Amino acid sequence: MAAKVKKAYFCKNCGFEAPKWLGKCPSCGEWNTFTEEIIARESGPVTANVAGPLPTSCPQRVRDIRESEHRRVDLGNPEVNRVLGGGLVPGSLILLGGEPGIGKSTLSLQIALAANGLKTLYVSGEESAEQIKMRAARIGIGNDECLIYPETLLENIIAQIAEQQPDLVVIDSIQTIYTELLDSSAGSVSQIRECAASLLKYAKTTGTSIFIIGHITKDGAIAGPKILEHIVDVVLQFEGDSNNVYRILRGIKNRFGATFEIGVFEMLDAGLRGVDNPSEILLTHYEEPLSGIAVGASADGVRPYLIEVQALVSAAAYGTPQRSTTGYDARRMNMLLAVLEKRVGMKMFQKDVFLNFAGGFKVADPGLDLAVVAAVISSYYDRPIAEGVCCAGEIGLSGEVRPAPRTEQRISEAARLGFRRIIVSGYLPKGAKRPKGIEVVTINNIAQLPKALFLE
Ligand code: TYD
Ligand code: MG
């Protein structure tokens, strides 16, 4: 007789567990996401407990709790330190997500190799030791205390971590490791959940920091279970256009710091190089001014940078105009086009509009609204924007221009890069600093924008 098998159905999107197959997930509302997984054979339900139970604790008064002054460890990589909020907090569990081929393995190996003074263990379920060695040789081996361990069985990995006692562990990737306690295959929702939970327990009881790499599905979710995002302390996303050399490391969740920080990297032959000054790569110097190009002063995190946006507005050949964006939210663009139509009287309904941000960057900064609209206006009238002019401001539905967060920093960055005029909201607080060397033009409504752009 076949062994008694316990099965359950899991939603691939959010990790919701159900005893039978469902067409629509009651938790996240997605359709057709349920898959069957074996969770245990014979004996009843099993939950992985590889790392043992958490130490018991009892309630204490807030003021009595000793602060383990969050000592931060320098990882030897300024961009990663910045995104983590100023270095690595020991004992943290960090999820590094990204599409296949974007450079997650390269980045994490580089972290393990650069973390001088830390004992690091790089566990790979995807590549052999020789392959990793080849990559390490290209990147340059700075840390002699870096161990490479190709393994996929969680029990072995935990045993090795316990034996070697590293300060930092990299698991490449969570989708390739599995625990013997579950019968489902590696990469299934239950395996991912149990392995991550065991690693979390280990990290918290021993103070070991663990980087977990997770592949991302097409729609941008960390593959399979969103559930991982709840378990870990920090979620970092590595993104970029794989046809382009620039990559952004974005903090999506951070229990030890701000989430809006970004790190910028360039993928070279010898691994990833941090880009200290993103504006330099995001601005192109043209021989002669071209229409449809505008520069926006953006601020992701505390670091401001300037970025170029290109728009192409052309007569629509068919009844329904085409609207397409790269690196920008299409709905936001449609909203801005509707505002232009209604408040400035531009006939956008007969136009195809294409929008593109430089460097394959994805931007979501509302402070770039003004630059997007400026590029559209410039292409619509086929008039280049005057040289050395940039913008920073958010646009409301009535066409009002609102101040972008951290406008002062944006203005300073524009001044530093030699821009001679920046267009910002007139609703800025009175006492706002005005750096020297740049003309700050304030407008309250987008109807005033064309004049400011073309220096009329
Ligand atoms: P990889 O780190 O393997 O991506 P992931 O782990 O996210 O799937 O990186 C993949 C790409 O990076 C690969 O196409 C080759 C490129 N690469 C370089 O350009 N330079 C380098 O030094 C390395 C190691 C990789
Ligand atoms: Mg990889």
Q: Are residues 339 and 198 in the same domain?
A: no
Look at residues 241, 260, 276 and tell me which one is the last residue of a structural domain. Answer: 276
Question: If pLDDT is split at 50, 70 and 90, which confidence band does 417 have?
Answer: confident
Q: Are residues 357 and 268 in the same domain?
A: no
| Residue 282 near residue 358, CB atoms below 8 Å | yes
Same domain, 152 and 30: no
What's the gap in Å between 100 CA and the centre of ligand 2? 7
Show the tokens assigned to 242: 């794989």
Of 246, 276, 306, which one is at a domain's C-terminal end? 276
How many angstroms is it from 310 CA to the middle of ligand 1?
Answer: 29
Mean pLDDT of 404-413: 89
CA of 109 to the centre of ligand 2 (A): 10
Q: Identify the residue whose C-alpha is closest to ligand 1 atom 8.
A: 101
Is the CB of 159 within 6 Å of ligand 1?
Answer: no
- Counted domains in the chain: 3
Residue nearest to atom 9 of ligand 1 (CA): 103
**3-state DSSP assignment of residue 334:** helix
How far apart CA 19 and CA 16 sit, in angstroms, is 10
Q: What percent of the chain has pLDDT over 90?
A: 43
Please check whether residues 193 and 112 belong to one and the same domain: yes
Instruction: Identify the domain boundary among 234, 259, 276.
Output: 276
Mean pLDDT of 15-28: 86
Mean pLDDT of all residues in the chain? 86
Q: Are residues 18 and 77 in the same domain?
A: no
Q: Which of 224-263 are b and which e, b meaning 16 or more Cβ less than 10 Å from the residue's Cβ?
A: bbbbbbebbbbbbbbbbbeeebbbbbbbeebeebebbbbb
101 lines ligand 1 (CB under 6 A): yes
* Ligand 1 atom at shortest distance from the alpha carbon of 109: 2
How far is ligand 2, taken at its centre, from the CA of residue 136, in Å? 13
**Judgement on whether residues 110 and 126 belong to the same structural domain of the protein:** yes
Determine the angle formed by the axes of helices 330-339 and 369-380, rounding to 10 degrees: 60
Residue 55 falls inside a structural domain: no
Minimal-distance CA residue to ligand 1 atom 21: 271
Q: pLDDT for 429-444, tens place per residue?
A: 777 667 778 899 999 9
DSSP state of 405: T
Same structural domain for residues 210 and 318? no
Query: Does the beta carbon of 383 sit less than 6 angstroms from any atom of ligand 1?
Result: no
What pLDDT was estimated at residue 70? 61
State whether 248 and 299 are in the same domain: no
Residue 319 lies in a domain: yes
Same structural domain, 272 and 296: no
Predicted pLDDT of residue 48: 46
Q: Would you say the CB of residue 135 lies under 6 angstroms from ligand 1?
A: yes
Question: Ligand 1 mean position to 272 CA, how many Å?
Answer: 9
| Closest CA to ligand 1's atom 23 | 271
Token digits of residue 121: 């263990």
- pLDDT higher for 65 or 302? 65
Which atom number of ligand 1 is nearest to the Cα of residue 213? 6
Q: Which ligand is nearest to the CA of 127?
A: 2
Q: What is the pLDDT of residues 198-238, one digit of tens each?
A: 999 888 888 899 999 998 876 656 555 567 888 899 999 88
- The pLDDT score that the predictor gives to residue 46 is 46
Exposed / middle / buried, residue 326 (Cβ in 10 Å: 0-12, 13-18, 19+): middle
Give the pLDDT confidence of 74-129 residue by residue, as tens digits. Answer: 998 899 998 998 899 988 999 999 888 899 999 999 999 988 888 999 999 999 99
Does any domain span residue 51?
no
Q: pLDDT band for position 42 (50/70/90)? A: low
| Region of poorest pLDDT, from 21-35, 172-186, 313-327, 426-440 | 426-440
126 half-sphere exposure, CB direction, 13 A CA radius: 19
Cα 402 from Cα 184, distance rounded (Å): 53
Apex CA 70: angle with CA 67 and CA 74, to 5°?
165
- Top pLDDT among 48 and 19 is at 19
Residue 52, pLDDT score: 53
pTM of the model: 0.77
Which atom of ligand 1 is the closest one to the Cα of 135?
24
**For 233, phi and psi rounded to 5 degrees?**
-85, -35
Helix (H, G, I), strand (E, B) or coil at 378: helix
The whole-angstrom separation of Cα 184 and Cα 207 is 30
Specify whether 33 is located in the same domain as 97: no
Q: pLDDT tens digits for 373-385? A: 999 999 999 999 9
Q: Residue 238: nearest ligand to its CA?
A: 1
Contact 407, 428 (CB under 8 A): yes
Predicted confidence band of residue 34 (pLDDT cuts 50, 70, 90): confident
443 plus 301 within the same structural domain: yes
Cα 172 to middle of ligand 2, angstroms: 7
| Residue 171 CA, ligand 2 centroid: distance in Å | 10
- CATH number of the domain that residue 211 is part of: 3.40.50.300
Contact between 21 and 7 under an 8 Å Cβ cutoff? The reply is: no
Q: Is residue 67 part of a domain?
A: no
Pocket test for ligand 1, best of 267, 272, 273 (most atoms within 8 A of CB): 267
In a domain, 398, yes or no: yes
The minimum-distance atom of ligand 1 relative to the CA of 108 is: 2
Ligand 1 center–CA 245 separation, angstroms = 11
> What's 430's domain CATH number?
3.30.230.10
- Place 275 in a pLDDT band, splitting at 50, 70 and 90: confident
Kindly state whether residue 286 falls inside one of the protein's structural domains: yes
Tell whether ligand 1 has an atom less than 6 A from the beta carbon of residue 132.
Answer: no
Identify the residue whose C-alpha is closest to ligand 1 atom 13: 101
Look at residue 44 and tell me whether its pLDDT is greater than 50. Answer: no
Rounded distance, CA 416 to CA 398, Å?
33
Q: Which of 73, 45, 15, 49 is nearest to 201 (CA)?
A: 49
**Mutate-to-test residue for ligand 1 from 95, 99, 105, 106, highest number of ligand atoms within 8 A of CB:** 106
Which domain does 347 fall in, by range? 281-453
Average of pLDDT values for 327-340? 94
Q: Are residues 240 and 301 in the same domain?
A: no
Residue at 65 is within a domain = no
Q: What is the pLDDT of residues 173-186, one digit of tens each?
A: 899 999 998 888 88
Ligand 1 centroid–CA 229 distance in Å is 24
The pLDDT value recorded for residue 240 is: 81
Q: What is the predicted pLDDT for the residue at 45? A: 44
Taking the centre of ligand 2 as the mean of its atom positions, its distance from the CA of residue 106, in whole angstroms, is: 7
Bridge pairing between strands 168-172 and 120-124: parallel
**Do the domain assignments include residue 1?**
no
Rounded distance between C-alpha atoms, residue 278 and residue 5, angstroms: 55
Most confident by average pLDDT, 152-161, 253-262, 315-324: 152-161
